[in-house]
Structure 1
């Protein structure tokens, strides 16, 4: 009788162990490493000795005091080409604000990912058109996160979210720059039935994994590098001047913002990676 009891206890322990292992195995962590070229960014004020600085392709020196952007519409692609979407139509469960000033926001865990091998990662830089509405009732969690005082990822004058909020200083006299991006709607204020898409600042990013991601044994992690040198030194070489001390769209119309968007997230055609790259995969 004792032997049978011991066997049952051992079987129970094995089952519990396997259950815990499977729970862990089905999680995938996305870690965002925001850099100037190959150096991880340190934020700081105009006179901060610790803040990282970067010299652009045009020889202009920049540093960041604020760096935030939205990631959504996440999909993992299996080795056989099967696409596994991750809450792509639910901003509460499948979107996040990456904030360089908030360490915890640099990691985002995907839960309950099917076991298998994966070759690609896709995600949205920003929020796709059909979800880009400031709706505190449909997606209260994301709405609160995007509107919090330390985030402020909402347009004050439009109906959608900011996709990137980048502020800092340039040149040796530390002049301030402010660059905010996001899609726009045209129409009559307060009349949703008149809204039509204006500028589409959403970009769909496709990254090939340099090592196959294996889900099924551990808690794997994908490190995604976002190189903000591309903001100024990407396909569009940009020199900031005094008119960019506030958001560029206030000076040259919203079309000017697209130049920055295409550097950060690609043009959605020939360039579908923008500033993003896979740094490493840890299985």
Structure 2
């Protein structure tokens, strides 16, 4: 009887040890890294001033030569979709924890780490280009970290007059005379300044991006890296072909309507209907 008891104790201890071993080697969450590769077609963008010899040069479908001196955009409302269709949101209502400003002049901003993603196989990535309507107000109290990052002198991603954030800030030069152009996009709100209860949606420049992954991102013992390509050739050569002129070179401006701004929004962010990827695509998924 004693031998039998000892045997049962040994089995129980062994089972506990095996269970502990499994728990130690079976993570329930890990990270996913997003890397943003901003390109002209297939070449990573190099920024430069008016007379730069190093800046990436691009020729639009309308044969207009241009290059960029500044390139920034906001990514928020990030969601990952599992192979079975389950959608996993990532701090979608918290700009401090779930949004970032991608800035081509700041290499560190091109990588954004999503932490504590549940174990599983993911086949799709969704995110917002810009900030969704519900939280697109300059709220320093609610989201102090993002407010500070977006309002920094070297970022300047706020529209005080529009009560919200700039979603993209794209500047550069075009033509043989290197004339300056600016394309700034962002949603506008109607209402009385400083009184959120009076705000209603004006122009909606937010775009929800949906991208199929080139391979499943497998979260487990490894932390996958997803490289997202943003092809700024679409700025002038996307859904609508644009030729930069003195009239539309500064958008929006006193000389260009919000409707003109939406042409650029649709080119780079898609129209939100049949085109939900815009200038974005997934280049590769690394699971190592």
Deviation at 1:249, TM superposition (A): 4.2
Q: Answer yes or no: is 1:96 the counterpart of 2:100.
A: yes
Residues of 2 paired with 1:111 and 1:188: CA distance?
38
Are 1:223 and 1:279, in contact at CA under 8 Å, matched by a contact in 2? yes
Deviation at 1:22, TM superposition (A): 3.9
Q: What corresponds to 1:275 in structure 2?
A: 279
2:135 maps to which of 109, 128, 131: 131
Task: Give CA-to-partner distance per residue, 1:150-199, whole Å, 9 cap, x none.
Answer: 00000131200000000000011100001100000112334433221000
Residues of 2 paired with 1:261 and 1:92: CA distance?
24
Structure 1: give runs of 5+ residues left out of the alignment: 1-10
Residues of 2 paired with 1:221 and 1:65: CA distance?
28
Are 1:249 and 1:257, in contact at CA under 8 Å, matched by a contact in 2? no
Q: What corresponds to 2:170 in structure 1?
A: 166
1:144 maps to which of 141, 148, 163: 148
2:50 maps to which of 30, 42, 46: 46
Q: What corresponds to 1:114 in structure 2?
A: 118
Give 4+ residue runs of structure 1 displaced > 4 Å after superposition: none
State which structure, 1 or 2, has the greater radius of gyration over its C-alpha atoms. 2
Are 2:162 and 2:187, in contact at CA under 8 Å, matched by a contact in 1? no
Structure 2: give runs of 5+ residues left out of the alignment: 1-16
Q: Answer yes or no: is 1:240 the counterpart of 2:244.
A: yes
Q: Normalising by the residue count of structure 1, what TM-score does the alignment of the two structures yield?
A: 0.91
Residues of 2 paired with 1:248 and 1:90: CA distance?
28
Task: Give CA-to-partner distance per residue, 1:102-139, whole Å, 9 cap, x none.
Answer: 00000000000001101100000000000000000000
Q: Answer yes or no: is 1:253 the counterpart of 2:257.
A: yes
1:33 maps to which of 30, 37, 40: 37
Q: What corresponds to 2:63 in structure 1?
A: 59
Residues of 1 paired with 2:208 and 2:123: CA distance?
17
1:209 maps to which of 205, 210, 213: 213
Q: Normalising by the residue count of structure 2, what TM-score does the alignment of the two structures yield?
A: 0.89
Residues of 1 paired with 2:223 and 2:116: CA distance?
11
Residues of 2 paired with 1:250 and 1:69: CA distance?
23
Are 2:247 and 2:256, in contact at CA under 8 Å, matched by a contact in 1? no
Q: What corresponds to 1:71 in structure 2?
A: 75
Secondary structure in 1 matching 2:116: coil
Q: What corresponds to 1:220 in structure 2?
A: 224
Residues of 2 paired with 1:195 and 1:86: CA distance?
26
Are 1:249 and 1:256, in contact at CA under 8 Å, matched by a contact in 2? no
Deviation at 1:243, TM superposition (A): 2.0
Kindly report the root-mean-square deviation, in angstroms, between the aligned alpha carbons of the 2 structures: 1.7
Are 1:187 and 1:196, in contact at CA under 8 Å, matched by a contact in 2? yes
Aligned length: 268
